[in-house]
Amino acid sequence: MAPPSGDNNVVVSSNLKLERLLSMKGGKDEASYANNSQAQAKHARSMLHLLKETLDGVELNLPDTPFTVADLGCSSGNNTIFIVNVIIEHITKRYEASGHSGVPEFSAFFADLPSNDFNTLFQLLPPLANQGLGSMEECLASTGHRSFFAAGVPGSFYRRLFPAKSIDVFYSAFSLHWLSQVPDSVLDKSSMAYNKGKIFIHGANKSAASAYRKQFQTDLAGFVKMRSREMKKGGSMFIALLGRTSEDPTDQGGAGLLFGTHFQDAWDDLVQEGLITSEKRDDFNIPVYAPSLQDFKEVVEANGSFSINKLEVFQGGSPLVVNQPDDAAEVGRALANSCRSVSGVLVDAHIGDKLGDELFLRVANRATNKAEEILEKLQFFHIVASLSLK
């Protein structure tokens, strides 16, 4: 669902409003997520050995019981299809090596918010292998086809999405740093946490950062609780999300450089040029929080349903898609497209698509002037977690 064009009265704060609006930019144009997620694909591939370690710990059921995978925060590009194939191929090899009499049928659920561009995702799915082949082994051997039944699941992963004890493997990458809402206190002028003059918490006051941290931990607690109910006994979960190496939550690392520098300055440009008011800028905050390992660990341990097999900070690299690093203008456009692919829907809902164009044009111009510095310093770190249901 696309946000209403030119709606200048939307304040994205409550979780219901955010849930209806938030999505990566759909379609296949220059600023779409599908065309700006190559870096995420590269980062996901660099973690495959960690994913396979998680899959090695999953309990295998009898082959007559379907094996079910769910990608939470699947978005609309090829990355989710690639990962589901990796998971199913690895589990298939485990079945074949274990001496089981066969291989189970596989189901994959692609879950994201209702505003996600599921249509683009479904168009990318290859056809199901010929059902007339009969056996799953023959389906798996059928090239150019998928070996799993597929379904889209619209809804917030901070609430229940699946029946109890129905999922063998949960996978979630580059999604859990998105909060269910901007903390109310951050937008409240009477609050100590009011994030005046800023659209992100990078470099913000400690009260604002504390509000974001509390919101993240509240959201993560809900996420873990729901998954503990939905996962089969012996199931596992692999999670990767933006993280930080600093203990200071006002230092958001790579996310801070993406949203808290040139993007922030471009909002200030719109204010100074009289295109929006300062109040309009201050009513917009990016609902992202890059946690520390401790932020994450505290929540999982407090829940008590999962064993932590692995929890580490993983250097992911740059989020930018740049073919010619020496071309400053391309670097500028890449930064603007990267910002727009993940935040453009919220921006357009807040100030309208025409002012959104003006905003990201200024992001590109500012980033062009700092291209060398951006390429050197813009690096993402991810928290990677492997969890098993106790």
Note if the pTM is more than 0.75.
yes
Mean pLDDT of the chain: 88
- Answer for the pair 198, 187: CB distance below 8 angstroms, yes or no: no
Q: What is the pLDDT of residues 222-254, one digit of tens each?
A: 999 999 999 999 999 999 999 999 999 999 999
Whole-number percent of the chain with pLDDT over 70: 86
Arithmetic mean of pLDDT, 40-57: 90
DSSP 3-state of 388: strand
Residue-by-residue DSSP string for 24-86: ---SSSTTSSTTS-HHHHHHHHHTHHHHHHHHHTSPP--TTS-EEEEEET--SSSHHHHHHHH
Q: Can you say whether residue 134 is alpha, beta or left, with left for phi > 0 and alpha for psi between -120 and 50 degrees?
A: left
Q: What is the pLDDT of residues 342-371, one digit of tens each?
A: 899 899 989 999 999 999 999 999 999 999
Q: What is the pLDDT of residues 18-46, one digit of tens each?
A: 666 554 444 555 544 555 556 677 778 88
| Per-residue pLDDT at 106 exceeds 80 | yes
Whole-number percent of the chain with pLDDT over 90: 73
| Per-residue pLDDT at 303 exceeds 90 | yes
Q: How far is CA 28 from CA 112, 115, 151, 319, 344, in A?
A: 18, 16, 21, 18, 14
Instruction: Find the range with the poorest average confidence among 74-83, 195-204, 237-246.
Output: 74-83
